Amino acid sequence: MSHKTKWNKGQLLKVLHLKHFFIASAMNTRKRKTENASDTPSKKQRTNDPPRSETWQSALVISQLEKALCSKGNPTDAAGMKRYMRDKFEFYGVKSPLRRKTMKEIFADRDEGIPIKDVREFAQILWEKPQREFQLVAMDFLEKHRKELCKNEADFNKNIVFFKMLVTSKSWWDTVDILAYKLVGYLVQTHPTKGKPVMQEWISSDNMWLRRTAILHQLCTKEHTDEEMLFQFSLARCHEEEFFIRKAIGWALRDYARMKPNKVKKFLQQHKDSLSTLSYNEAAKHLNIAKK
């Protein structure tokens, strides 16, 4: 036996009112979800966003860097730095820790994903500035990006030409030595087939700083050091009277002696008469052998 519910007019109106209320609520909820979704980029939209490197503007960064270094410079320190560098360069008088802190604040990771050509271009603009702090910023910047800069063998020729320009212009030990093993050396280690012949050319160059770079490019390579090349280069330039060459030979041999002390000791004993006193004593500094 079935029972049919009888609704009076008031009950029907109440049911219809509730029905319209729930439908309206559902529609409003759906509308809010649609609006929120439109504010959040889809995965496809995020993929199409411009890369962070597009926010990099060399001129703007250099302008900000110039203002910051100028405002933080110390005239007394600048005078001392200039004397220490034999009056070869102008300085703002910003010491290394503050310079690196300033660089980090201004860059603020804006250089992440920067194209390789822009890395070289930015460093070259800095190189042309008169204050030495700019070249030191360029060194830090290039070292920071050296992995991506030196990764592709196809870029080797551009990079070695660029590094050669940096070694041979505004040359002094403070930049050349960093270039030698942190950039040129890294490039040669990454692409030895192309890099080693270039070092063979540089060791015979008329430019003293290129010769020094060739001698020092294997610093800190430890077990990856090409021992034959190190000893060959040391003997090739041991006749020179130039202080920076003699010092470089001793430094390179002393560094390798940390890995292979007996090999370096034997080399020094065999070529004691050929090596300068400076080179020999520098190389033997931590070895148990008599000074020359």
Distance between CA 52 and CA 279 in Å, rounded? 48
Greatest Cα pair distance in the chain:
125
Question: 3-state class of 276 per DSSP?
Answer: coil
At 8, give phi and psi (nearest 5°): -85, 175
The answer to whether the beta carbons of residues 58 and 118 sit under 8 Å apart is yes
Secondary structure of 108-160 as H, E, C letters: CCCCCCCCHHHHHHHHHHHHCCCEHHHHHHHHHHHHHCHHHHHCCHHHHHHHH
Distance between CA 292 and CA 290 in Å, rounded? 7
Secondary structure of 250-262 as H, E, C letters: HHHHHHHHCCCHH
At 131, give phi and psi (nearest 5°): -75, 135
Give 292's pLDDT tier (boundaries 50, 70, 90).
Answer: confident
**pLDDT at 19 > cutoff 60:** no
The candidate with the shortest Cα–Cα distance to 237, out of 279, 266, 283, is 279
The candidate with the shortest Cα–Cα distance to 167, out of 234, 118, 213, 216, is 213
Q: How many CA atoms lie within 13 A of 183 on its CB side?
A: 27
**pLDDT at 1 > cutoff 70:** no
Give 113's pLDDT tier (boundaries 50, 70, 90).
Answer: confident
**Which range (5-14, 34-43, 105-114) has the least confidence?**
34-43
Average pLDDT over residues 65-94: 97
Task: Tell me the CATH class for 226-292.
Answer: mainly alpha
Which helix (H) or strand (E) is 209 found in, with range? Answer: helix 208-216
Give 17's pLDDT tier (boundaries 50, 70, 90).
Answer: low
Alpha helices in the chain (DSSP H): 9-39, 43-47, 58-72, 75-84, 96-107, 116-127, 132-144, 146-150, 156-168, 173-178, 185-190, 192-202, 208-216, 227-236, 243-257, 261-270, 277-283
Query: What distances in angstroms separate CA 291 from CA 234, 278, 282, one per listed residue?
Result: 18, 10, 9
Q: Is 222 left (phi over 0), alpha (psi -120 to 50) or beta?
A: left
The candidate with the shortest Cα–Cα distance to 167, out of 132, 125, 135, is 135
User: pLDDT tens, 155-207?
Assistant: 999 999 999 999 999 999 999 999 999 999 999 999 999 999 999 999 999 99
User: pLDDT tens, 261-289?
Assistant: 999 999 999 999 999 999 999 999 999 89
Distance between CA 91 and CA 72 in Å, rounded? 12
Neighbours of 131 (CB within 10 A): 20
What tokens were used for 112? 């992440």
Question: 3-state class of 90 per DSSP?
Answer: strand
**pLDDT at 49 > cutoff 50:** no
User: pLDDT tens, 194-242?
Assistant: 999 999 999 999 999 999 999 999 999 999 999 999 999 999 999 999 9
Q: What's residue 48's pLDDT?
A: 44
**pLDDT at 30 > cutoff 70:** no
Burial class (CB in 10 A: 0-12, 13-18, 19+), 67: exposed
User: pLDDT tens, 250-265?
Assistant: 999 999 999 999 999 9
Give 38's pLDDT tier (boundaries 50, 70, 90).
Answer: very low
Under DSSP, the state recorded for 91 is -
> Does the global pTM surpass 0.85?
no
